[in-house]
Each structure stands twice: as structure tokens, then as C-alpha cells.
Amino acid sequence: MTLGLPEYLESKISPEPMSGCWLWTGALNENGYAVVWDKTQKRMRGAYNVVCETVGKLCPEGLEPDHTCRLRCCVNYEHVEHVTHQTNMLRGTSFSALNAVKTHCKHGHSLADAYMQKNGSRQCRTCHKARVKKYAKGKL
């Protein structure tokens, strides 16, 4: 296999022909991301960062790499997009990311004009008005 990378990197990569992913067969961190020991910096680094730097696809200041293939052990530099932290988080599967893409509350009302709570969550205006009305009548 010739990917044009240094031998120590290439020896840890297994290309997946269907997706184009370069699967890292070396060490993974606790979150499943590919990592490699950087001899010059004397620390573990993201293998995808080392691959990107090796081919000259440096991450601009203020941005971070995001795997467009959504596979954390992929080190194909063509599958890495440099985005803001917020964009990277919203593309994920965290609780915040999943709630951020919701368009309607659990009762089917639009969240387009929702109230923002102090804790950062959104509250449907229709449900809020109904709760206030119930409270005013002493039924809550």
C-alpha cells in the first residue's frame, strides 16, 4: 500500500475500499479516536492530526478537525473538515446536539419561537402558556 505517508504511519492504516476510510489499526484513546506517539513533542497526539500535518492540511487557528465520515478511527485526511467547536459539537450525537436539531416539542408544537431557559434549554411557548393558565386556575 502506498499512501504517500511515512512508513510508521502507513503500517498502521488499513484502507476500507467501500467507504474510502483509512482505518487506524494502532492505538485508540478512550473515546475511540486514533492516537500515535509523537516523538518530537513527547506526547500522544491524534493520528488524524499527524496525517493531516504530514500532507500539509494544517488545522487553522480556532478550528478543530471533524470526521465527515463520522468514524473516529478513520485517519483519511480527505474525511477531515476543519470547523468551529460549536459546529463539531452540533454534528455529534450528544444530548445537546440531538436537542438542538429538534423542531417541535413533545406535544407537536413548533419550537421556532421557543423561550430560552436560564439553563440553555428551549421551552415551547404554547405549552408554557397552557402551564401558566393551569397554574392561575390552581390546578398545578
Domains and CATH numbers, the chain: 7-90 (3.90.75), 102-136 (no CATH)
Q: CA 51, CA 67: separation in Å to the nearest integer?
A: 13
* C-alpha cell at position 134: 393551569
Long-range contact list for 20-23, CB < 8 A, 24+ apart? 20/69, 20/76, 20/78, 20/79, 21/69, 21/71, 21/74, 21/76, 21/79, 22/51, 22/74, 22/75, 22/76, 22/79, 23/71, 23/73, 23/74
Per-residue pLDDT of the chain (140 residues; tens, 9 = 90+): 567 788 989 999 999 999 999 999 999 999 999 999 988 889 999 999 899 989 999 999 999 989 999 999 999 999 999 999 989 888 887 777 787 788 898 999 998 888 888 877 788 899 889 889 988 887 65
SS3 42: coil
One-letter amino acid at 126 equals: T
Give the Cα separation of 48 and 34 in Å (integer): 7
Q: Which pTM was predicted?
A: 0.68
Pick the closest to residue 79 from 26, 37, 19, 32 (CA basis). 19
